[in-house]
Structure 1
Amino acid sequence: MNDIAVTNDIALTEFVAATAAKFDMPGISVGIWVDGREIIANHGVTSTENPVPVTEHTIFSIGSTSKTFTATALMRLVAEGKVDLAAPVRTYVPELRLLDEEHAAAITVQQVLNHTAGLEWNIINNTGEGEDGLAAFVASLAELPLIGKPGERASYSQAGFNLLGRVIENVTGQPFEQVIVETVLEPVGLHESFYFQGDIMTRRFSAGHERQADGTLEVCRSWKGTRANNPGGGLGTTVSDLLRWGRFHLGDGRTESGETLLPAALLHRMQQPTVTLRASALADAFGLCWMLRDVDGVRTVGHGGSVFGQFTEFQLVPERNFAIAIVSNASPDGVPANQAILRWALEHYLGVVDRDPEPLPFDADRVAELLGGYEIDAMTATFLVEDGNLFLECKVKPEIRAAAPESEIPQDHPPFPVGLLPDDEYIITAGSFQGQRGFLSRNDRGEIIGLDLAGRLFTRSA
């Protein structure tokens, strides 16, 4: 695999360029592994302020795609008998405290890995860049809202994966980042992947961009989150390394040198469904970290990411030995740009077609029942009607925006048009999150009490 030829595909190059123009992306890098070869297409620049050409060796901040590295390191500890997926998290993090003592004692390692631990999305705080950052973050989880009993439902949690980083630290006695480097990055040969900005700033890297109210793009002054968010979203890497990472997870757990990094059974177990998801654009099911979708009869395995104006789409099709990595550097349209390239590639190279479901006609009675506000710790989501059409308005809470530098908080989007689907499900029909699906939760009396959006439970406001 060290001698893999990198080739170009004129059709891919042209489609990436057209997509960048359509969505006004400063830079995009795409890598595809298909038919035993790598195909690369790059377009644009790393930054509008310091325009350096994007290549497959440009480092992007990949946000939540980082979770796949954390999960793999954890599974190595499982293989070594140092972690039991069925064990309570407190077996390895005895200092864990949550709002409910029984909840804290009950959640298992696997429930955190597959987002069924009943933890809210995250706590927005800064516990510093020292080696005690994760420990301090875990101490702050005593304030984290809980959204359900352990194992009751899936709800995507950044805080949960940062907690897993502390599991890794306590079990190994080493800082999280050192463990990932020594047990994952170096063995797999990922030499363009880093957690610390000091390691990144001397290399070619992308800056994120945020579209302003007047339509112009402004460079984001923040590049990644705090150190405590490294397990859930702190890695910087390249398309070249992501393709190597994809080939590893398409394989049998051995590295290019023949070393068994992870037994094949555990590697493949990560890609098996553990909990199904309803009406989610993220996935049909969660594996152990991985998001699993059936697209046109073919199973895909992947994990996207976003942070400070940079967006990643990373997908595998194991039965076809196919991998694709897409990174782009402007918000909010990095999401639809990446999705357009992903869908084109699946159809162009595999003949796999990914389509959104058609919404039902407007139903005034159904709409009236769901109108109003929903919230998580950092955001509100409001269903409203304008001119006979249903919209979903998502906003960062004012207190969160006020507490952080403006450059660190994305601009709020205009309200998204929404169509209803059968069985309390909905789909966003236009805008930067077109195709995003979700559903409404009801209590035993049939009353709507929550909104599932992007895999997270927003509870209905009082």
Structure 2
Amino acid sequence: MQEFVRERASELGIPGVAVGVWANGTESFACHGVTSLDNPLPVDPDTLYEIGSVTKTFTATALMCLVAQGQVELDAPVRRYLPGLRLADERVAAEITVLHLLNHTAGLDWALLEDTGAGDDALAAHVARLAELKLIGSPGARASYSQAGYNLAGRIIETVTDLTYEDAVASLLLRPVGLEHSFFLDAEVMTRRFAVGHNPGPDGELAVARQWRRWRGNNPGGGLVSSVRDQLRWARFHLGDGRSASGQPVLPADVLRLMREPTVALRGTTLGDALGICWFLRDVDGVRSAGHGGSAHGQFAELLTVPERDFAVVSLSNAGPDGIPFNQAAVRWALEHYLGVVDRDPEPLPHDPGRAREFAGTYENDAMRFVIATGETGMTLEVGIKPEIRAGLTNEAPPDYPPVALGLLPGGGDEYILIEGGMKGQRGFFTRDASGAVVGVDLAGRIATRVLTR
């Protein structure tokens, strides 16, 4: 594994990576490279990385601790715990449940990109502004990945425990599970060895991503900083009986299993075939996996478990956009070499210019813009932050992705796959209205609405 990690990271130009595997009752680690191109330190299993949306597994598990304690009900309306909740639609605000937040079916758009400060009231202030967020559908109608939904879930944790989100998660999970290298606050990170993200500059050369952290109000959706050793221990906890390594009860085993039961089906996405409670569930070469990925400021994380084989793999990398294919390659290598499980991308259809033209256009959600273009030889997808959103950001934002080739997949279901670049292998699909017109596109579980035809 060390040889593979070194060769693949070098090939993709990733400054520093860390991979961990739990298999056959043994932990194995492979690390390569440095924390930063500007201030390099060797990466080791305890080096801290921003794990982005893998944080959502902690938010969901903390809420399930409160469910197990009888303090929260999954099917209860969110307003039972947050009676002052206001959204763009009063009916949605009244109807969404805790489970809707945890399986991304609340009807909330992706994210509210607003800095509400670093104080203990940051999350409350973030939730108070959710009335500004666009809604994409009725609660329970469909899954669409929502950062805002998980930040709202984090606020429920605060109100029920009467603690800050960070203190509640530390009390419910980090300390009991023994995660000694996992932190939310910069003051806890800065005295330890941590990686910084990197993104390509205008000349194509990697440079340190100077905005190292996002605002505190985003912590439930993506704010944890952790090590590969801690993340592997976290995966092992979810594979176990609900006790910590020292035998301390943390969560009943049947609740952990419940989190891996399908709650809503997914279509045409690399993320999975279904969503459990937070976990993306996917059948890979005949075995069921449960996992989650994350990204933050030029850092990327991937955590995958195979419960029936008591197996887990974690991969962390610190450069975009190729940190994504590095993590995917590391996970696939581990699956094949430890379990004999082979994960392959489907083959796209030959390009059809006539069919491709009906998909060309611009699509947007609350923060992102997707531009799909087509010609005689193929289709491309360009992904970026909306210009008006980028102009309003006070800190450095990641660069937009350059156009990459995509191909439609067999089956006639309007599904596609990206076939090059840092997002190679990512899958999505187009949606149509009742008349059959293409009105939206999904990528990485997020819906974007068509705003312009090219």
TM range, normalised to the smaller chain? over 0.9
Aligned partner of 1:22 among 11, 14, 28: 11
* 1:219 matched residue in structure 2: 208
The residue correspondences of 1:67-82 to structure 2 (distance < 5 A) are: 67-82=56-71
CA distance in 2, matches of 1:405, 1:358: 42
* 2:403 matched residue in structure 1: 415
Residue 292 of structure 1: how far off its partner (Å): 0.8
Contact preservation (8 Å) 2:109, 2:365: yes
Residue 223 of structure 1: how far off its partner (Å): 1.7
Partner AA of 2:111 in structure 1: N
Residue 387 of structure 1: how far off its partner (Å): 4.7
The residue correspondences of 1:190-201 to structure 2 (distance < 5 A) are: 190-201=179-190
The residue correspondences of 1:259-270 to structure 2 (distance < 5 A) are: 259-270=248-259
**Comparing 352-361 and 211-220, the one that deviates more:** 211-220
1:340 partner SS: helix
* 1:8 matched residue in structure 2: none
Residue 386 of structure 1: how far off its partner (Å): 3.7
* 2:433 matched residue in structure 1: 443
* 2:231 matched residue in structure 1: 242
Partner AA of 1:412 in structure 2: D
User: TM-score scaled by structure 1?
Assistant: 0.96
Aligned length: 450
CA distance in 1, matches of 2:21, 2:378: 40
* 1:313 matched residue in structure 2: 302
The residue correspondences of 1:255-404 to structure 2 (distance < 5 A) are: 255-404=244-393
Question: Could you list the runs of 5+ residues in structure 2 that have no partner in the other structure?
Answer: none
* 2:417 matched residue in structure 1: 427
Residue 453 of structure 1: how far off its partner (Å): 0.8
Residue 255 of structure 1: how far off its partner (Å): 1.3
**Comparing 378-387 and 430-439, the one that deviates more:** 378-387
* 1:90 matched residue in structure 2: 79
The residue correspondences of 1:68-147 to structure 2 (distance < 5 A) are: 68-147=57-136
* 1:229 matched residue in structure 2: 218
* 1:4 matched residue in structure 2: none
2:358 partner SS: helix
**Comparing 377-386 and 27-36, the one that deviates more:** 377-386
Partner AA of 1:351 in structure 2: G
1:396-424 alpha-carbon deviations (Å, 9 max, x no partner): 11112222256x31111221101001311
**RMSD of equivalent CA atoms:** 1.0
CA distance in 2, matches of 1:151, 1:159: 16
2:290 partner SS: strand
Contact preservation (8 Å) 2:211, 2:397: no
CA distance in 2, matches of 1:61, 1:107: 30
1:358-415 alpha-carbon deviations (Å, 9 max, x no partner): 1112122321111111001111111101452111111211112222256x31111221
1:202-255 alpha-carbon deviations (Å, 9 max, x no partner): 000001111113121111112221111110100000011111111100001111
CA distance in 2, matches of 1:218, 1:405: 19
Residue 315 of structure 1: how far off its partner (Å): 0.6
2:143 partner SS: coil
Residue 259 of structure 1: how far off its partner (Å): 2.2
* 2:444 matched residue in structure 1: 454
Runs of 4+ in 1 over 4 A off after TM superposition: none
2:74 partner SS: coil
1:120-164 alpha-carbon deviations (Å, 9 max, x no partner): 000110100111111111110001100011000000000000000
Q: 1:324 to 1:15 in 2, by over 3 A?
A: same
Partner AA of 1:248 in structure 2: F
1:415 partner SS: strand
CA distance in 1, matches of 2:70, 2:446: 32
Partner AA of 1:204 in structure 2: R
Contact preservation (8 Å) 2:262, 2:281: yes
